[in-house]
Amino acid sequence: MTPEPENAVHGYELAYRLAAEQLSGVKDLELLCRNSGARPETTGDRLFIVLEYLGKTYRIKHPEVEIFPVEGSTPVPLRDKLLMLHYLNRANGTPLSGRLITYQELPEGIAYAGNFKKRAIKPLLEAFGSRMELMLQAGERLFGAARSDAGDVSVVINAFPRLPVTLVLWQGDEELAADGNILFDSSIPGYLSPEDITVLCETITRALSHFTKD
29-46 confidence digits (pLDDT tens): 999 999 999 999 998 889
The pLDDT-based confidence of 7 (bands split at 50, 70, 90) is low
The torsion angles phi and psi of 172, rounded to 5 degrees, stand at -90, 180
The pLDDT-based confidence of 5 (bands split at 50, 70, 90) is low
The pLDDT-based confidence of 198 (bands split at 50, 70, 90) is very high
Q: What is the mean pLDDT of residues 152-168?
A: 97
The pLDDT-based confidence of 178 (bands split at 50, 70, 90) is confident
**Alpha helices of 60-131 — where are they, by DSSP H?**
78-90, 109-116, 122-128
d(CA 99, CA 171): 23
Q: What is the mean pLDDT of residues 51-71?
A: 96
Name 203's Cβ contacts closer than 8 Å, sequence gap at least 6. 54, 79, 80, 83
Query: Of all helices (H) and strands (E), which one includes residue 19?
Result: helix 6-24
Q: What is the mean pLDDT of residues 83-110?
A: 97
Residue 174 has pLDDT above 80, yes or no: no
The pLDDT-based confidence of 179 (bands split at 50, 70, 90) is very high
The pLDDT value given to residue 2: 46
The pLDDT-based confidence of 73 (bands split at 50, 70, 90) is confident
Residue 49 has pLDDT above 90, yes or no: yes
Name 206's Cβ contacts closer than 8 Å, sequence gap at least 6. 1, 2, 123
The pLDDT value given to residue 1: 43
Ramachandran region of residue 161, left (φ > 0), alpha (ψ -120 to 50) or beta?
Answer: alpha
The pLDDT value given to residue 120: 97
d(CA 20, CA 56): 20
Of 7-11, 31-35, 108-112, 165-169, give the lowest mean pLDDT range: 7-11
The pLDDT value given to residue 100: 97
Of 4-8, 23-27, 30-34, 184-188, give the lowest mean pLDDT range: 4-8
Round the average pLDDT of the chain to a whole number and report it: 93
d(CA 154, CA 136): 7
Residue 82 has pLDDT above 60, yes or no: yes
Boundaries of every domain in the chain: 6-90, 100-211
DSSP β-ladder status, 56-62 and 66-69:
antiparallel
Half-sphere exposure of 64 (CA within 13 A, CB side): 10
